[in-house]
Structure 1
């Protein structure tokens, strides 16, 4: 069995919003002193708790945000452990600075971006997105990031480029062995990657992205299941053929390339018709494309969504 059944977090286990909002600054400062020392000077302000002025995105949902505590302690990040609590407990296994991201493959201007360079590609925006896990739980996360399209424009994709592959950092000396064929890889069609909803996230709750959430830069594609969001990205490759992703290798009958949130197509081991929002007792109906159908449904016009799952 590749994934353990989900365990629920009770509302009583989640810090109340009025409490965690008051504690945010203290938590961010106390938890990021070591990171601040390692970051470049121009990025150090992020480690002290603020990513500076943020533009509000019209693409954000107005739904209540999931607490920062839940977002940062209930994670899937298998390189740091397979239990939901493991990533937050094993942050020492990944050093987020110094860091760079190679963009290569079918591009006319291949380039390596440092984190500072990524931050300058476009104004940082807060994007409050619904996030749905294939295991049946969901959150509303206030990401901070830039459109992936901004980066792709810098490298000038060639006409033959049809897909974008993402490669995550992996250190076999410190990270989990087994489970998957490392390093973790994911992929999108080029038009999906260019969609305005798709972002490279560098923070959440207005602060630098915690290690357990994929620091220093991760992919966020809110209409797809959460495992599509490659964490701690070190390379982005533009390719002609559809890449074989890490979960496709591990379970091709369970984890397809597209992985769009679709309540009408069940996972072989559980239904996708409902979800449990972290912090709530009752389940809610899962929305097609996670509620982003207006923005993305046209990308899949005419496709058999049971075949291309």
Structure 2
């Protein structure tokens, strides 16, 4: 994998990094919770001391999506089906306290609160593209924990073949869960080798800021070569299992949503083409971009699927 260190001023608006002491103040502008101050100081203190750095695949020609677009245009059905619903309703979600358990086919199961997780795991900033099946994409500077570092800590045993992720179920605050359109809680899965790939991260921030609630706070999955519906948000549990998990969208509509969800422009969604995409925030008059195989990460991940029929295993 080609890794390039990029000065923070080249990937993020300079004012975000001018004074790290104002991190919590800036965070409040995004999250706006009445309990934010105590929560931020308690659960995200480690992010306040982050150095300004980035490790990213070379993407000098790609403009970063704006913070406004990233935080106001989302798929997050726990809060509704409209792209604006997460921004409008996610603030109701209480994420303090928060813990995450790692269990199943492991020799050292763990349950960590978020503060422990951030203190014990390495944090990196990476620029990744997010591609959704509806034909839109973003380029986002994430702050995250390499998933392989966490999985190595729990020591998967010989029965572990897949990793299942489970999100929060709380209909009183996640108002979209009052609708039975999906089987809650949201679940997702990866093959173990996909989960251990160095590109796979658990994101806890973006654009130098703590992850906003509408983007999956406090912790979400990011797998940059797969479609966005694999990016499960508000994770509470990670299980290592022997059999392939049946994820939420597979269960809801297996003809349209397969387990792998690799970005493959040669395989159309039954209701639309996947060959092109449009960056969120761009004018409708802007020419659409050609969708790249594996979302542009073919060099790094194609070997994981050698010999597989990617039309069948979609």
How far the C-alpha of 1:21 sits from its partner, in A, is 6.5
How far the C-alpha of 1:304 sits from its partner, in A, is 0.3
Q: What are the equivalent positions in structure 2 for 1:128-167 lying under 5 Å apart?
A: 128-167=127-166
Number of the residue aligned with 1:37: 37
Confirm or deny: 8 A CA contact 2:69 2:280 kept in the other structure. yes
User: Take 1:20 and 1:58, find their aligned partners in 2: how far apart are those partners?
Assistant: 21
Q: What are the equivalent positions in structure 2 for 1:55-66 lying under 5 Å apart?
A: 55-59=53-57, 61-62=59-60, 63-66=62-65
- Quick check: 1:294 aligned with 2:299? yes
Q: Which moved more, 1:171-180 or 1:294-303?
A: 171-180
Q: Provide structure 1 residue ranges, at least 5 long, that are not aligned to the other structure.
A: 1-16
**Secondary structure of 2:120's match?**
coil
Number of the residue aligned with 1:243: 245
How far the C-alpha of 1:38 sits from its partner, in A, is 4.0
Number of the residue aligned with 1:218: 220
**Secondary structure of 1:120's match?**
helix
User: Take 1:121 and 1:214, find their aligned partners in 2: how far apart are those partners?
Assistant: 21
Number of the residue aligned with 2:191: 189
**Secondary structure of 1:87's match?**
helix
Change (3 A) 1:184 1:289: same
Number of the residue aligned with 1:78: 77
* TM-score (structure 1 length as normaliser): 0.88
Change (3 A) 1:68 1:40: closer
Change (3 A) 1:122 1:102: closer
How far the C-alpha of 1:275 sits from its partner, in A, is 0.3
How far the C-alpha of 1:187 sits from its partner, in A, is 0.2
What root-mean-square deviation, in Å, do the aligned CA atoms of Structure 1 and Structure 2 show? 2.3
Deviations 1:60-93 (A, max 9, x none): 6332110000000000010011100000111233
Deviations 1:86-141 (A, max 9, x none): 00111233111110001111111111011112212333211110110011000001
How far the C-alpha of 1:35 sits from its partner, in A, is 4.6
User: Take 1:41 and 1:210, find their aligned partners in 2: how far apart are those partners?
Assistant: 15
User: Take 2:148 and 2:247, find their aligned partners in 1: how far apart are those partners?
Assistant: 21
Number of the residue aligned with 1:4: none
Q: What are the equivalent positions in structure 2 for 1:1-309 lying under 5 Å apart?
A: 28-32=27-31, 34-39=34-39, 41-45=41-45, 50=48, 52-59=50-57, 61-62=59-60, 63-175=62-174, 176=176, 177=178, 178-280=180-282, 281-309=286-314
Q: Provide structure 2 residue ranges, at least 5 long, that are not aligned to the other structure.
A: 1-11
Q: How many residue pairs end up in the alignment?
A: 291
Change (3 A) 1:51 1:288: farther
User: Take 1:27 and 1:120, find their aligned partners in 2: how far apart are those partners?
Assistant: 21
Q: Which moved more, 1:212-221 or 1:108-117?
A: 108-117
**Secondary structure of 1:167's match?**
strand
Q: Which moved more, 1:90-99 or 1:75-84?
A: 90-99
How far the C-alpha of 1:233 sits from its partner, in A, is 0.1
Change (3 A) 1:60 1:209: farther
Confirm or deny: 8 A CA contact 1:20 1:67 kept in the other structure. no
How far the C-alpha of 1:51 sits from its partner, in A, is 6.1
User: Take 2:58 and 2:46, find their aligned partners in 1: how far apart are those partners?
Assistant: 22
